Structure 1
């Protein structure tokens, strides 16, 4: 059965090859999407060729809903996005994938039923498909080579959906010892280095010493040091002093 997570339906209009449907299913499941709808697949459905490319996302193929027409596939939805790279004469809001999926996330959170339509691999959507949509999603691709294959387009929209609905921080520190050092710990590290460097005669000539100390403090404050980093840097300096004293 589909997951309970509220999400848009991804509607593949007249897909031509089973392999592309399977690859699209894999791309959807990469980002936790499992509501696939198929409109008049060229080679019929189910299609054994889709299974190999799904690679672990076969459940999406088993549960995919089959429709004869675009209108039937989106009849229960309240807002529909059409992905296309080709300019059209129809007047529609045109959104980037990021903006579209952010908008979709807000709509789904309000209880709306949302769908994202993807056109056939060879020719893309027909004007009738576009006319049925609420908005167009246009990917800012190379204008000299604007064609994305079906799975690529599904992957891109799936990724933006995940970004819009995930709490994952844009940048994070990963590893075994990632607890960041407190400012006091960094300050004490700076004191340690400053003391040893002064003993070594580093702060010379005298009239430049204050500026050198300030630059060194600035260096430590710019570095996102973990507590493990601070301990290691203390240890390096202690070992260097011991080595000099043994010599």
Structure 2
């Protein structure tokens, strides 16, 4: 299954720090992490002793692949390790994610600060990894000890436990902003040019004339104030030429009523003239 935002006609972003899932418990969460990685251009997925093994067949595989929602290439390329030490052996630095203070005197960074550092180091050729612990307990102290720095999130202190894929998503989002920029992926289409004053004043004259004709301005002594209020309402819209044309067209139809259907052209009967 792929989502509405999937576009296979353009190149996909790849690279970034390795996402290292340490003892993940559920195959479906591994699939959801792959989806989060694909959202933000991360492509190095490493698994350390997943509880259910690495499911490449059966129901577990089906669940993981369905949760990946089109990011199955990351599941196919995922590397399996017997220990965290093996998973980080080729890296120049690692960040450990945790919601709890561990008393290890390591620098504790917010995700945006950590990923800004990661993007800078990555562009210099360093290889980095981000550690995520199992869903129920998080990383063990011994696993956090293998990291250079800690990444944590500003969450409700009374409910700081994040879903595994949500944690990957938050880090991936900050990586995307740091490495590729924070601009939205698209902008609204250009509006038609701003309406010139002459066009707007002509519209006001027409609108106010029709409103006066049907007795809208009552009492008459308040007409100047009511006209000013109407004009200010439209001015606040910063109307384009298309806006003014549309408003005027709507009022014309209300004033004149429905358009009469154009009579259909009658087809000419075949001629009987054989001469």
Decide: shared fold, TM above 0.5.
yes
- Look up the match of 2:63: 52
Q: Quote the Cα distance in structure 1 between the aligned partners of 2:177 and 2:65.
A: 22
SS in 2 for 1:101: helix
SS at match of 2:144: helix
Decide which structure has greater helix share. Answer: 1
Of structures 1 and 2, the larger Rg is shown by 2
Partner of 2:190: 179
In the alignment, what sits opposite 2:87? Answer: 73
SS at match of 1:26: helix
User: Cα distance, 1:198 vs. partner?
Assistant: 4.2
> What's 2:247 paired with?
233
Question: TM-score, with normalisation over the residues of structure 1?
Answer: 0.77
Partner SS state of residue 237, structure 2: helix
2:161 corresponds to 1:147: yes
1:195 aligns with 2:209: no
Judged with a 3 Å threshold, the aligned counterparts in structure 2 of structure 1 residues 82 and 227 are, in CA distance, closer, same or farther, namely farther
Task: Report the equivalent of 1:26.
Answer: 35
- Cα distance in 1 for partners of 2:199, 2:147 equals 60
Runs (4 or more) in structure 1 with deviation over 6 Å come to none
In 2: Cα distance, 1:11 partner to 1:205 partner: 71
Give 2:45's match in structure 1, choosing from 11, 36, 42. 36
Q: TM-score, normalised by structure 2?
A: 0.70
Maintained 8 Å contact 2:132/2:164 = yes
When residues 158 and 54 of structure 1 are mapped into structure 2, their CA distance, relative to the original with a 3 A threshold, is: farther
CA RMSD of aligned residues (A): 3.1
SS of alignment partner, residue 37 of structure 1? strand
Query: Is the Cα contact below 8 Å between 1:24 and 1:154 reproduced in 2?
Result: yes
Deviations 1:147-178 (A, max 9, x none): 122222222222333344256428843xxxx3
Q: Residues of 2 paired with 1:219 and 1:28: CA distance?
A: 43
Unmatched segments (≥5 aa) in structure 2: 1-11, 258-275
Report the alpha carbon displacement of residue 11 of structure 1 after superposing the two structures with TM.
0.5
**Given the superposition, is the C-alpha separation of residues 189 and 211 from structure 1 closer, same or farther in structure 2, using an over 3 Å criterion?**
same
Q: How far, CA to CA, are the matches of 2:169 and 2:25 in structure 1?
A: 18
- Do 2:15 and 2:41's aligned partners in 1 also have CA atoms closer than 8 Å? no
C-alpha deviation, 1:119, in angstroms: 0.6
Q: Is the 8 A contact 2:45 2:74 kept in 1?
A: yes
Contact 2:200-2:244 within 8 A present in 1 as well: no
| Deviates further, 57-66 or 105-114 | 105-114
Is residue 16–residue 41 contact of structure 2 (8 Å, CA) maintained in 1? no
- The answer as to whether partners of 2:208 and 2:227 remain within 8 angstroms in 1 is no
Cα deviation for residue 12 of structure 1 reads 0.6
Q: Pick closer, same or farther for the CA change 1:196–1:143 going to 2, 3 Å.
A: same
